[in-house]
Amino acid sequence: MPLFRVNNLHTDWLQGTDLTLPPGAIFCISGASGSGKSRLLRVLADLEPHQGEIWLGDIEQQSLPAHQWRQRVRMVPAESQWWFDQVGEHFPDDYSAAEFPELDLPDAALNWEVSRLSSGEKQRLALLRALAWTPQVLLLDEPTANLDSETAAKVETWLLQKIRHNAWPTLWVSHDPQQIKRVADRHFVIQEGQLREVQDGRN
């Protein structure tokens, strides 16, 4: 997988920011409510206006149509969106539900109606959906926030294995200090419009 690089990124709420994510690295982002954690992921996914450059290998964000960029740089928001009535309509045609049981979901969930899903089921299925489309970068916005502790631990372990195996550069927003200690290679906090690294990377 290529490097994911941010060069001199500016928005109306974030000062100049540089960041380089190596393949397979997990950088966690924390910060107070309203500090801009989710908005930063949206900027990186080309969903909000910004200045500066965002690179995936030798491809600059603005050189691609937004939908093509988002196929490569896949964001999983805290509240997932669903456009069709049935779960399976959001997955590739040849998708196998073999991994569903790893996240405590039955194979049959591929045929469920979206309207019957709980918030926790939506969150797990949104993760499976994102990974099914073979991303090159993951932007995860509190991916276990709606889950009980046992299920959250399973999802966290599963995500770590997938990220390391596929060498996806990953930005992971989390409000849980213990989760950050477990998963982060580096830890950043958004404070006063700046993205600042927490020096020990594990707080």
Q: Contact, 120 vs 147, CB < 8 A?
A: yes
Average pLDDT value for residue range 104-127: 96
Predicted confidence at residue 200, as pLDDT, reads: 65
- Angstrom distance (rounded) from CA 177 to CA 142: 12
| Residues paired with 197 in a beta bridge | 188
Q: What is the pLDDT of residue 203?
A: 39
| CB-count burial class (<10 Å; 0-12, 13-18, 19+) for 44 | buried
- The CA distance from 166 to 127, in Å, is 15
- Each domain of the chain, given as residue ranges in start order, spans 4-78+132-198
Say what the pTM is. Answer: 0.95
CATH among 3.40.50.2300, 3.30.420.40, 3.40.50.300, 3.30.465.10 for 4-78+132-198: 3.40.50.300
CA 176, chain centre distance (Å): 16
Q: What is the percent of the chain with per-residue pLDDT over 70, rounded to a whole number?
A: 98
Identify which of 89, 93, 92, 130 has the alpha carbon closest to the alpha carbon of residue 113. Answer: 89
What mean pLDDT is predicted for residues 78-83? 94
